[in-house]
Structure 1
Amino acid sequence: MAFTGDTHNFFDETEKFVSKVNQNTSIDFVIHVGDLADFGLPKQYLWANTILLKLKAPYFVVVGNHDLVGNGSQAYQEMYGAFNFSFIYAGTKFIYINTNSREFEFNGTVPDINWLGEQLKPKESFTKAVVIFHVPSMDPDFDASLEESFTNTLASYNNVIFCIHGHLHGHAIYRSYNDSIFHVNVYGVENYKFNVIKIVNNQFEVEKVEF
């Protein structure tokens, strides 16, 4: 899997990212960790999508805070669908959840903790999970009143291999809480770098790729 994010208006950089990813035939799919648009404008989504559709592998995106500016919420959902969704691939459940609390005025509904808990409940169809979001839970843009329940829910079934997010534009692999869950901060595309992650059993390997 290849990961990028925070492409905003970095269209030239995104073109170069796509070109580099397409050179790697082992990429199953690409995950964008949010902020496709800068001001939530429909034309910005169209510009970004035009570039990302050049990927040879399918791509999936989680909503970012900039995607929700102005009428961005409606435009985003018309193009990409629900803010929260999941799918299962090769025994791993990939869970995409909206964590942009500030854009919802810290009203206690974002992120949707109950939905996350239901998604993580063990089933025969998957044995492990990866949780994808834009704003990390220790960030001021995340609803502080939900931070503890969010992190407790992530750890509740001991099946999350790692969480992955954007928003900060840099790259880091870290543990923020007293649990075993790693968090991966994905490079913003303007760094001319992206991450490739391989899942092997219940472990994961992170590679930094320059373009």
Structure 2
Amino acid sequence: MSKNESNFSFAVYGDDGNSGGRFDHLIKSLNGKNVLFSVDNGDLTTLGTSMHFGYFLIDAKQLKAPLLTNIGNHDLSGSGSESNYINVFGNPYYSFSEKNSYFIVLDDANSDVNGTQMNWLKNELRGSQNYKYRFIFMHIPLYDPKYNSTVEGLSLGNSTTAKTLNNLFDEYNVTMLFTSHIRGYFHGVWGKTPFITTEGAGSPLSKPPVGVNSTEN
């Protein structure tokens, strides 16, 4: 990380549940890099129980740089409740700024974004225009990144929400959208919004279809 007022580095990863020790390996790698903070983009656990979040915290405490989290579908308890996550980490959607950049973390663990959160997001995006860069984090991607188009699949269950979000991200010139959920590494552009889908924090990776714009991480 540069000491310059405007330059810094951060790390993004997701899906570290059932890592079999791979999350520990990632932590050791991150501790050797000069990052200001990292964002774990959801599926911190496999079941979303208090016990599983406790296991996650034991591992995460090894990180030298601050850690921010997002909630994933596996972080919901069996009843579909976010309560265990909220008890540990607080509000599942939030924003923060760092130097010339604005960061917005969305909660789409239920494969949708409700009206209350959508209104909050619009206000956040308006305020983010005072910053040079805007970064959005979602666990579940707008569309299935295994295909080079806006195709549904392992993506938001509400296609109307996906289109609304994509239009908002385009309108407010989002610098990068980070998603996880898909077990691999993908990059591309939805509308005018560039995206990176990254898992790689521990869950087993899967190979994408032939010809897809993807690289396993």
TM-score by length of 2: 0.78
Q: Which amino acid aligns with 1:3?
A: V
Aligned residue in 2 for 1:147: 162
Out of 79, 82, 85, which is 1:76 matched to?
85
Deviation at 1:156, TM superposition (A): 1.8
Higher strand share: 1
Q: Unaligned regions of 5+ residues in structure 1, if any?
A: 194-207
3-state DSSP of counterpart to 2:82: helix
Q: Which amino acid aligns with 2:201?
A: V
Instruction: Assess if the C-alpha contact under 8 Å between 1:33 and 1:64 holds in 2.
Output: yes
Deviation at 1:11, TM superposition (A): 4.7
Q: Unaligned regions of 5+ residues in structure 2, if any?
A: 1-9, 145-152, 206-214
Instruction: Assess if the C-alpha contact under 8 Å between 1:4 and 1:33 holds in 2.
Output: yes
3-state DSSP of counterpart to 2:143: coil
Instruction: Assess if the C-alpha contact under 8 Å between 2:21 and 2:202 holds in 1.
Output: no
* Superposed counterparts of 1:39-188, under 5 Å: 39-70=47-78, 73-102=82-111, 109=114, 112-122=117-127, 126-139=131-144, 140=153, 141-142=155-156, 143-158=158-173, 160-177=174-191, 179=192, 181-188=193-200
Cα distance in 2 for residues equivalent to 1:43 and 1:191? 18
Please, what is the CA RMSD of the aligned residues? 2.5
What's the CA shift string for 1:73-132, capped at 9, x where partnerless?
A: 111001011111010001211100012234xxx6x6178322111111146853321000
3-state DSSP of counterpart to 2:202: helix
3-state DSSP of counterpart to 2:136: strand
